[in-house]
Amino acid sequence: MDFSSLFSCNTVTVAIVVVVLILLFSRSLQWPSNLPPGPTGYPVIGSILLFRNGNVQEIFRKLRAQYGDIFSLKLGVNLTVVISGEEALKEAFIKQAEDFSDRLENTITGQVLLNKGIVFSSGEHWKQTRTFSLSTLRNFGFGRKSLESRVQEEVAACLDIIEQQNGQPYDMKELTTMAISNVTCSITFGNRFDYTDVKFKRITSLFCECFKLIALGRHAQAFPYLKYLPGDMFNIKKLIQNTKDIRDFVFEQINEHRNTFDDENQRDFIDAFLSQQSKHGQEDAIFEDLNLAVSIINFFVAGTTTTATTIRWAILYLIHNKHIEDKLRQEIETVVGTSRLPSIADKPHMPYQEAFIAEVLRMGNTAPLSVPHGALKDIHFRGMVIPKGSVIMPNLDSVMTDPELFENPEKFDPERFLGKDGKLNGKEQNVMAFSLGRRICTGESVARMELFLFMTSFLQRFEFLPESPDKLPFTGGVLELARVPKDFKCRIVKLK
Ligand code: HEM
């Protein structure tokens, strides 16, 4: 045996391993000693094994009990800092908003969307795009159609489909997804699509698939070098292809709008954008077509699954709480009656519906860990240092389940938000479903309008029953990118 060649071969292997390890650790070697406390974890993988067979919310609850409101975890190459509890969340995301309102630029989703639009951009680009989008959504009223009438149009289409089921067991997942996606179409493209429209069905399913692919791709974030392996282990190529198909569809819509654009007669979000573009010019990065397309994709991806899932949580809690369903319907009969559909003007007179929606948002807990923020520089917080490049997670779940804020947090109870006079008692303000601070959900007012109009209209016409009396749907959630209920069917019976 040639020992010298064996020795040199081993030396090369060892050298490669050492270089790889140095590269992997080079970031963690730069981390300061006063990091937020947390588990040590293993070399290379960090604490990833903690999540082997566990519910992430439960694991974070345990880590918070052990390490406090601000703890850190090494997950592959990333340091993740989790912030829990109302006080710490407000201190970070409101009082120290200047430091805590960014997103990391090297995330997979950020790169797929070229760090444009709202959700994955930061700095001045994000501020200006967000301000334009918010003010357009807030003052929404293009042509003769208000935002409310667009939602009502969709509600009416949805009621028809439900009626056609004749009270047979039915899964509301596809219908709610298409309905919410269609409201976004109406806001952005100016028109809704028929539910059987092939192009619309395909685009909606691509949006939903992207939402799932982003969840699956999270591991690639922790171990970015794995994405160079052959194949498409983390579905990143699929995510890129889906996004490209969606972008092509949105660009088609933008071009059609440009051909028929009339500044005096703006029809929708695209027209409002084109109007600004004509003043600033395409060279302005805020008002270029690509930024418009990505902002629209953001609305679909951030708004569809979250809102549709919240409606399904509402139905699930109705099935489990017949007495609450009766009380809701009683309020609708008193305030609205049965001869017309509910409208937003009814909302201030319907505190029980508002309390119900607040409780659905709290217990449904659709975005328990919000969307990750990121440290674009070293952040000094409560005597600790959150190093540049860290992922920062607002642990909204810690607020939704806080017994100090919500007595018996595991009980579904809309009454907790009502005073003795039957009016809202202000505790609904503590429900942080839409996050907080400068990144607070841009679509909150749209989502709240949708939740109110869809749910009150459903309850006015139909009763929700379990698939069979001995088959109540499971109330636990599954954390994908959003926290969703397990698929369930129900019988939706027309009221006499
Ligand atoms: C019940 C429904 C919804 C829930 C629970 C929800 C929740 C959230 C949460 C937790 C965030 C992350 C905020 C953060 O980074 O801290 C967010 C961001 C966002 N949401 Fe929603 N959302 C809902 C509906 C919608 C709708 C209907 C739209 C659009 C029409 C929308 C558009 C957005 C956008 C654009 C962002 C990014 C904001 C930014 O980064 O500045 N959302 N949402």
pLDDT in tens, 9-51: 566 666 666 566 555 555 566 677 799 999 988 888 889 888 8
User: In which residue are the tokens 């439960």 written?
Assistant: 58
Task: Judge whether 132 and 139 are in contact, CB under 8 Å.
Answer: no
Residue 217 has pLDDT above 70, yes or no: no
Q: How far apart are CA 109 and CA 121, in angstroms?
A: 11
pLDDT band at 240 (very low <50, low <70, confident <90, very high): confident
Distance 342 CA to ligand 1 centre (A): 25
Q: How far apart are CA 66 and CA 73, in angstroms?
A: 13
Q: Regarding the domain delimited by 32-494, which CATH topology (the fold level of the hierarchy) does it fall under?
A: Cytochrome p450 (1.10.630)
Q: Which atom of ligand 1 is nearest to the CA of 439?
A: 41
Residue 349 has pLDDT above 50, yes or no: yes
pLDDT at residue number 115: 87
Residue 171 has pLDDT above 60, yes or no: yes
Size of the chain in residues: 496
Distance 45 CA to ligand 1 centre (A): 31
Encoded tokens for 199: 């192009």
Q: How far apart are CA 348 and CA 75, in angstroms?
A: 46
- In this structure, of 99-108, 123-132, 444-453, the range with the lowest mean pLDDT score is 99-108
Pairing of strands 391-395, 78-84: parallel
Task: Judge whether 214 and 243 are in contact, CB under 8 Å.
Answer: no
Inter-CA distances, 280 with 227, 250, 276, 284, 405, Å: 39, 21, 6, 6, 47
Q: Say if ligand 1 is within 6 A of residue 435 CB.
A: yes
Distance 76 CA to ligand 1 centre (A): 27
Q: Which atom of ligand 1 is nearest to the CA of 396?
A: 10
Q: If you average pLDDT over residues 348-372, what whole number do you get?
A: 97
pLDDT band at 7 (very low <50, low <70, confident <90, very high): very low
Q: How far apart are CA 171 and CA 25, in angstroms?
A: 48
Encoded tokens for 405: 């804020």
pLDDT at residue number 3: 43
Which of 113, 484, 100, 128 has its CA nearest to residue 316? 484
Task: Judge whether 109 and 214 are in contact, CB under 8 Å.
Answer: yes
Per-chain mean pLDDT for the chain:
91
Q: Say if ligand 1 is within 6 A of residue 297 CB.
A: no
pLDDT band at 79 (very low <50, low <70, confident <90, very high): very high
Which of 494, 496, 488 has its CA nearest to residue 320? 488
How many C-beta atoms lie closer than 10 Å to residue 322's C-beta?
Answer: 12
Please state the domain extents for the chain: 1-30, 32-494
Give the torsion through C-alpha atoms of 448, 449, 450, 453, to 10 deg: 120
| Neighbouring residues of 430: CB distance < 8 A, sequence distance ≥ 6 | 86, 399, 405, 406
pLDDT at residue number 6: 46
Residue 435 has pLDDT above 70, yes or no: yes
Task: Judge whether 347 and 367 are in contact, CB under 8 Å.
Answer: no
pLDDT band at 210 (very low <50, low <70, confident <90, very high): confident
252-298, pLDDT tens digit by residue?
Answer: 999 999 999 999 999 999 999 999 999 998 888 899 999 999 999 99
User: In sequence order, what DSSP letters do the residues of 390-438 get, joined into one string?
Assistant: -EEEEETHHHHT-TTTSSSTTS--GGGGB-TTSSB-SGGGG--TT--GG
| Neighbouring residues of 468: CB distance < 8 A, sequence distance ≥ 6 | none
pLDDT at residue number 15: 62
pLDDT at residue number 1: 42
Q: Say if ligand 1 is within 6 A of residue 446 CB.
A: yes
Q: How far apart are CA 496 and CA 494, in angstroms?
A: 7
Q: Say if ligand 1 is within 6 A of residue 441 CB.
A: yes
Q: How far apart are CA 450 and CA 180, in angstroms?
A: 8
Q: How far apart are CA 491 and CA 493, in angstroms?
A: 6
Distance 304 CA to ligand 1 centre (A): 10
Distance 187 CA to ligand 1 centre (A): 16
| Neighbouring residues of 444: CB distance < 8 A, sequence distance ≥ 6 | 434
Residue 437 has pLDDT above 70, yes or no: yes
Distance 446 CA to ligand 1 centre (A): 10
